[in-house]
Structure 1
Amino acid sequence: MDFDKLQLREHWHIIYKHRKTVLLAMAALVLPLLALLLLSKPQYNASIALSVTDDAVTSLLSSDIDVSPDLTVGNYMDILTSQSFVDRVTRAVAQNVPNSAGAAKLKKANGDSTAIAKAHREAMIYLLDHMQTDHRGGNVIRVTIESGNPEEAYQLVRTIGEEFRRQHLETIQQRIDALHAFYSDRLRQTYQRVVEAEERLAGYQRARGIATKTRESDRISERIEAFENQIVDLISQRELLAERRRTLEQQIAQLKEKAPALATMESQIPRIEELKRRLLNLQSQMLAQSVLYTDKHPKVQSLKRDVDATIHELRGFASASSTPDSIKPTDPAIIWHDLYVENLLAEVEYNNLVSKIATLQKLANEYRNRVFEQPPEEQQELLKLQREVIVAQDAHQAMLRTNEKIQSLEAEKALNVSIIEPAQRPLKPVPRRRPFKMIMGAIISVILGVGLAYLREAIDRSVKTPEEIEKKLGLSVLGYVVDASTSRSTSTNLADKLVLLEEPGSELAENFRALRVNTDLALAECKNGQIVMVTSPGVGEGKSTIAANLAASYTLFGKRTLLLDTDLHHPTMHLRLGVQHDAGLSNWLAGEIRPENMRNSVTLNGSALDFITTGTRQVTFQKLSISSKMQSLFVSLREQYDVIIIDAPPIIPVSDPLLLVSDVDLILLTLESGRTPMEAARQAVTLLRRAKAQALGVVLNRLRLEEQYGPDRYQPSYLLGRRALLPERAGTSAS
């Protein structure tokens, strides 16, 4: 079923149809919840707030001192709910709070190890079930204990705070002790390395009798390092200027493409070229002087002023925007002047940087040659021993600083965990909020019940309503019969009776009358329409009840009617009519009796209904139907009766009805609402159409109108006032 295409009214019908499921779901959820709320005892909450801000300790134990991972707030919450910590708290409570329930159970064990272990385990489970941890932001953790005893809740949460703080301090102390032992050993090792390196250096100097050149080597090394730093910076500037020049050249080229006359302007401005050559010359001189003198030397200052003046003149020349007489001073020309001058300045600066880099690299190589070019063997060994002494001294100093930090942890470790909100005895129980919980339980139960209702509707593949049958099977529904258990009748069981005689004023009786009218209309469309076969896809769908009451309706209407029972496997029609199962159809086809001897007559309110039983011969219908007697029987019956009703066996488990299809005028396929699968109905229709049935119609049996259409269905009680005028029960007689 496609629930998305259903209207609101149809959704309501589904819920009403499965109202029992909804009510059972509500009862299954609401009643236990109500009992739990009414029978539950008041609970008390005691809480404590712990701060795990460990800035002092963590900063000292992290990075270069301790490589163990730092604990987060989530780790601390896991510790609080761990089995080892709960075991510690349980033992502390039993020892420090003699009036607690756990201590009482341990005393009751009276030294029995098994009983003590059981009592301790129960206390741990109780604490785990009643303890809650909550992270309230930052580094604050709130621990809450819920218990029916306020004193017990207070003692438990207080012990949790104390034991957590104590356990954490013990953990910190263990880490500090391990670090102290490790770095003390490292300190001794580094000190021994310093002593050994100094002894090797002093022994070498005494043995060789040479002087050290440490200061000169250090000065040259510092000079080389300064040159290398300057070279790196200048290379970065050179790359930026190169990128700037490429950008300017692209812009100039684009302007020349837009204005071809600009291509001749460069050759027409000789003053710019003169300024360019002058600027390059000044930059070369200043570079040469800067190698010999500092930036504050008069020669360097004079050259710098000349360079600034030349650059200023170039920029002023560009801003004047002077152009040749052949080119008008349009906007592209002004832009070209600015870009051209900027490109010249960038080119000069780029060449200057290239010269500086080459000069600095030359100087750095000269200094390296002074230190490393063919150094004496004694000098190389001396420098090596000096470096070993320096490295050993630095390592020793680092170990000294680390040991000083570890010693400071002894005073700082107490700041790691603190109680910012101590535990207090609860004064009143926790609000139970019974109305709110009942309302939420009712809402959830309704949602659950409605969900189950839709689930049942989704998995139900049976036929339900006449509209569904006409839509999915493409057959006309000639009538429906309401469920006897839901109809307004005085009799409690009309399923296996002739309703038109037992309850002539009932809704069921009117259903059969309507079926008879629609059957007459269907037969009128057939040529010589007289024979109606009633069958069903499966067993127990009410076909025999439909056939019997339809035949009774025709009889009471005044038509000559014959009811023929062809269900040789399970004959039941003689029981419904109250006649004996004597010789019948099978006996006549076997040639044992005459045609007039196989008929029985049943009187219904003065009208006679003829009935032919299946007979007593144990022979299959397959053998009986191939005889020409069957066709001749139908020919003679057409002349004697107005309507012939055939009660046939089910069509899917038995193939007998298919042998009669060619001899009947109308086939009524009986389907039970809410029971017959839609696939079985399709299969039955396929079999009948394959057998070339002349006309097909559907009778929907046991239709529950209120379930399928809801309580607000259009079902007027027109017949209720008529029942008082009809006899309560009509008599039957058989002959």
Structure 2
Amino acid sequence: MSSFNGNMKDGSYYSKSKTMPFQVEEEDISVLIFNYLRALSRGKWVILITFVATVLISVIYSFRQKDIYEGITSVLVRDNTRQSSVIVNFSVTDRRNLANEIEILKSRTLAEQVAYKLLQIIYRDPIRKTDTLDIIKGAGSAKIARVDVIAARIMGAVSVEQVDKADLLLIKFRSHDPEEAAVVSKAIAESYEERSMKYTRNTARSVRQFLEDQLAQKRRLLYESEERLRRFMEDNRVISLDEEGRRMIQRYSLAMSSAEEAEVMVKMLQSSLKAYEQEIRAMTPKLSNSAVQATIDPYTKLFQEEIAKLEVERDKILTDPASRYNVNVQERLQEYNDKIESYKKRLQQSFERQVKQGLSNVNASEAYQELFKNKLNTELELIEQKSKFEAYKKLAEEYDKAFLKSPGVNVEFGRLERKTKSAQELYLLLEKKYQEALIAEEQVPKMVEVIDWAITPGAPIAPNRKANILVGVVIGLTFGVGIVMLIQFLDKTVYTPEQAERLGPLLATIPMMESFDDDVRDKSGASVKVIEGPDAEYKKIASHLVTHFDPKSSVSEAYRTLRTNILFSGVHDFNGSKKQGLIYIITSSSPKEGKSTTISNLAITIAQGGQKVLLIDTDLRRPIIHSIFGYNKEPGITNYLVGRAQIDDIVRNSPIQNLDIITSGTIPPNPSELIGTQRMKDMLQLFRERYDIVLLDSPPIIAVTDPQVLAKVADGMILVLLSGQTQIELAKRSIDAIRKVNAKIIGFVLNSFDFNNSYGSYYKYYRYYNYYYEPKGKNKNVKQGFLTKIIERLVDKV
């Protein structure tokens, strides 16, 4: 035994494990996991109640909600860029951005149009005309709501979605009534379709009206020219011109009509350019300034002007009938065509480069890019038409000068005839364009086409009761576990041996004792009956003297472990050089932590080991040892200290061999002063000589100073911690109080530890010990739940 004692002297047994960092780290991980698993196990009812309550609330909430139905109408927004035959690259309907269309569908303006339409429909079933739509019903006495109220309701329940990357929009309207959901969705689609058609027709109408005004003006000019020519012919009796005069008039009229046609085109292109600029401003207000101000650069403009001049020169040659058979003229025409093609290629490259530069610093949609490109292209066409107008006008002037060289009367006649001819050709051209515009206005393509009208939904889309309940299940579990984890985080109580070991050496872990026997007083075998009324808790404490009543139980073995660890704590000398007995104080941080049960069973266990033990009840404020063993309080230690009894009068022989007991005696008014007297010290010195071990049951150290007074004459103190009750901070304060008087703390005892709710090595130890030491007929196997088995395996793996 001496060699074993040498390795554990002065508590080195407990410090030895600290030299093994790997094991400590592994234990820390296990402890951490175990603490959380223990918290879940202990808080299973909190989790269950929280879970049931949350699921119940989600079920009630889900089934109290009204069903929501959704009517869906799908519409196709066409991406047509229809070129008008009137103006090159002028589109009646330009590319639209679907994001803009979605905003239009959700706008207040369209909602008000839908509200007016619903006020005409009125009924949920428009065919049978039954049941008024809820959306148009007024509040209070009003039968019908105002238009703005209906529009607000529509805006709050409508949603629009784009189908992937297609030009298909889904108009969705939600309502508690399935018929109303379908009716309102249809009304929104109809209003949107009507608005789109009105917009596209207005665009085509503006082209037609412009041509109509121009045609009226040219008709009047043609009539005036014809009338002047007729009067001149009547007054001067002129019938016709010669062949050369007619040829010169034909050239002049063609040149003049081309110039006037170019002038009309300039006006129309300017109108088109203005429309593009307005649409750019409406689409992207933040970018409108740069986009609107962007114009054709001089280099590109020069190419377009040269092309226009070359085309006019080419047309001038083509008007000469003799050019068809002249080889030299044909070669000149080919040169003109080659130059025109070359300039067109360079113009295209320059134009594309300018478009790319104009969009390089703009993060815009495809619709905006197309609109910007069309705007520049229109400006380029405008430059071409202006150049043609100037060139044809100049050419007409040249023909006019040549014609003026004709003799006398033919000059005036030719002038009137050429004006008439020019007006007639321009009128015929505008008449043709006007007819095309009329056809285009009537054949305007529909920008919006309804693909599928909404039908009455057969099932609600919300609430999704299954999903709500599932969310309630998840939230309930999460919330329940969160509450338990929060309680665990805030709980600073000692529960496990690992927590106790962080405070200092752990001498033993005493399992929880749940047995209670009403006849335990009779089983105690005490010969002395209690005179005063029994203490309220003595039966429970007396029933826990398992070391006497059930010495083969696992709890008794735990007390024997405590005895062994105390004897090998370094205070004892097994070589026999120490003659006097040792004094130990058993205390706790607060009342009812099991110190009296611990000291009673420890005394019995040491006595069963063959050593003489004296158990003294020094808790002079709330004594209980006398009730446990069935004695009267008097005479006791206080009677001796005040001189009213002798040593032999207060020492009582218990039925347990080698165990003597001294009760408290009369409760004094000044316990601390009484136990601090010299007489107390002399008495304890006397007991050192008579007994191997003297155990002092003292009051809680935080409550009173009695343990600190006794610590000066004791060899060591043992602090009892109650699992699940003793606060860590309170235990630390108890340690500080003991250290202040330079007393020695031998170690701690963790009392009432629930092995059934523990996992890993502690549970296995308890189970294995029951297997070997529990007598037959008792429940040797501690039942484990499914969750307990899983948690134990997880902890073992860690």
Normalising by the residue count of structure 1, what TM-score does the alignment of the two structures yield? 0.51
Secondary structure of 2:764's counterpart equals coil
Secondary structure of 1:663's counterpart equals coil
Q: CA 1:129/1:104 → structure 2, altered by over 3 Å: closer, same or farther?
A: closer
Note if 1:661 corresponds to 2:711: yes
**1:151 aligned to which of 179, 190, 196:** 179
Q: How far apart are 1:669 and its partner, in Å? A: 1.0
Note if 1:113 corresponds to 2:166: no
Secondary structure of 1:544's counterpart equals helix
| Alignment correspondent of 2:497 | 466
Structure 2's unaligned 5+ residue stretches are: 1-23, 82-97, 207-297, 300-440, 521-538, 780-798
| Alignment correspondent of 1:248 | none
Q: For 1:253-296, what per-residue CA distance to the aligned partner results, in whole angstroms no more than 9, with x for missing partners?
A: xxxxxxxxxxxxxxxxxxxxxxxxxxxxxxxxxxxxxxxxxxxx
| Alignment correspondent of 1:651 | 701
| Alignment correspondent of 1:701 | 751
**Separation of aligned partners in 1, 2:59 and 2:52:** 10
Query: What does 1:48-197 correspond to in 2, within 5 Å?
Result: 48-49=73-74, 72=100, 79=107, 97=125, 103=132, 113=140, 134=161, 136=163, 142-144=170-172, 150-159=178-187, 161=189
**Separation of aligned partners in 2, 1:442 and 1:710:** 30
Q: CA 1:635/1:30 → structure 2, altered by over 3 Å: closer, same or farther?
A: same
Mapped contact 1:542–1:701 kept (Cα < 8 A): yes
Q: For 1:622-654, what per-residue CA distance to the aligned partner results, in whole angstroms no more than 9, with x for missing partners?
A: x21332111111112222333222121222232
Q: How far apart are 1:28 and its partner, in Å? A: 4.7
Secondary structure of 1:549's counterpart equals helix
Note if 1:499 corresponds to 2:545: yes
Q: CA 1:548/1:435 → structure 2, altered by over 3 Å: closer, same or farther?
A: same
Q: For 1:355-374, what per-residue CA distance to the aligned partner results, in whole angstroms no more than 9, with x for missing partners?
A: xxxxxxxxxxxxxxxxxxxx
Q: How far apart are 1:557 and its partner, in Å? A: 3.8
**Separation of aligned partners in 1, 2:618 and 2:187:** 88
Mapped contact 1:484–1:494 kept (Cα < 8 A): no
Query: What does 1:317-328 correspond to in 2, within 5 Å?
Result: none
**Separation of aligned partners in 2, 1:466 and 1:93:** 79
> Bigger shift: 88-97 or 583-592?
88-97
Q: How far apart are 1:533 and its partner, in Å? A: 0.7
**Separation of aligned partners in 1, 2:718 and 2:778:** 30
Q: How far apart are 1:155 and its partner, in Å? A: 3.5
Which amino acid letter does the alignment assign opposite residue 709 of structure 2?
L
Q: For 1:655-695, what per-residue CA distance to the aligned partner results, in whole angstroms no more than 9, with x for missing partners?
A: 22111112111211112233323222222222212211134
| Alignment correspondent of 1:11 | 33
| Alignment correspondent of 1:534 | 586
Normalising by the residue count of structure 2, what TM-score does the alignment of the two structures yield? 0.47
**Separation of aligned partners in 1, 2:594 and 2:152:** 61
| Alignment correspondent of 1:545 | 597
Secondary structure of 1:18's counterpart equals helix
**Separation of aligned partners in 1, 2:188 and 2:25:** 55
**Separation of aligned partners in 2, 1:593 and 1:530:** 24
Query: What does 1:715-726 correspond to in 2, within 5 Å?
Result: 715=765, 716-720=767-771, 722-724=773-775
**Separation of aligned partners in 2, 1:644 and 1:555:** 11
Q: CA 1:137/1:599 → structure 2, altered by over 3 Å: closer, same or farther?
A: same
| Alignment correspondent of 2:454 | 423
Q: CA 1:71/1:454 → structure 2, altered by over 3 Å: closer, same or farther?
A: same
Which amino acid letter does the alignment assign opposite residue 565 of structure 1?
D
Count of residue pairs the alignment pairs up: 483
Q: How far apart are 1:465 and its partner, in Å? A: 2.8
Mapped contact 2:637–2:664 kept (Cα < 8 A): yes
Mapped contact 1:665–1:695 kept (Cα < 8 A): no
**Separation of aligned partners in 2, 1:532 and 1:720:** 33
Which amino acid letter does the alignment assign opposite residue 656 of structure 1?
D
**Separation of aligned partners in 1, 2:119 and 2:163:** 28
| Alignment correspondent of 1:515 | 562
Secondary structure of 1:539's counterpart equals coil
**1:560 aligned to which of 605, 612, 618:** 612
> Bigger shift: 428-437 or 441-450?
428-437
Which amino acid letter does the alignment assign opposite residue 497 of structure 1?
S
Q: How far apart are 1:156 and its partner, in Å? A: 4.7
Mapped contact 2:614–2:660 kept (Cα < 8 A): yes
**Separation of aligned partners in 1, 2:596 and 2:511:** 16
Q: CA 1:636/1:100 → structure 2, altered by over 3 Å: closer, same or farther?
A: farther
Q: CA 1:681/1:649 → structure 2, altered by over 3 Å: closer, same or farther?
A: same
**2:72 aligned to which of 22, 29, 47:** 47
**Separation of aligned partners in 2, 1:580 and 1:664:** 26
Note if 1:612 corresponds to 2:657: no
Mapped contact 2:755–2:762 kept (Cα < 8 A): no
Query: What does 1:313-352 correspond to in 2, within 5 Å?
Result: none
Note if 1:525 corresponds to 2:572: yes
**Separation of aligned partners in 2, 1:100 and 1:496:** 89
**Separation of aligned partners in 2, 1:664 and 1:479:** 21
**2:512 aligned to which of 483, 492, 500:** 483
Mapped contact 1:54–1:415 kept (Cα < 8 A): no
Q: How far apart are 1:450 and its partner, in Å? A: 5.1
Q: CA 1:35/1:96 → structure 2, altered by over 3 Å: closer, same or farther?
A: closer
Mapped contact 2:715–2:744 kept (Cα < 8 A): yes
Which amino acid letter does the alignment assign opposite residue 36 of structure 2?
I
Which amino acid letter does the alignment assign opposite residue 522 of structure 1?
S
* Aligned Cα root-mean-square deviation (Å): 6.0
Q: How far apart are 1:172 and its partner, in Å? A: 9.6
**Separation of aligned partners in 2, 1:631 and 1:579:** 25
**Separation of aligned partners in 1, 2:761 and 2:551:** 25
| Alignment correspondent of 2:736 | 686
Mapped contact 2:51–2:480 kept (Cα < 8 A): yes
Q: How far apart are 1:41 and its partner, in Å? A: 9.5
Q: How far apart are 1:71 and its partner, in Å? A: 8.9
Secondary structure of 2:750's counterpart equals strand
Q: CA 1:12/1:722 → structure 2, altered by over 3 Å: closer, same or farther?
A: closer
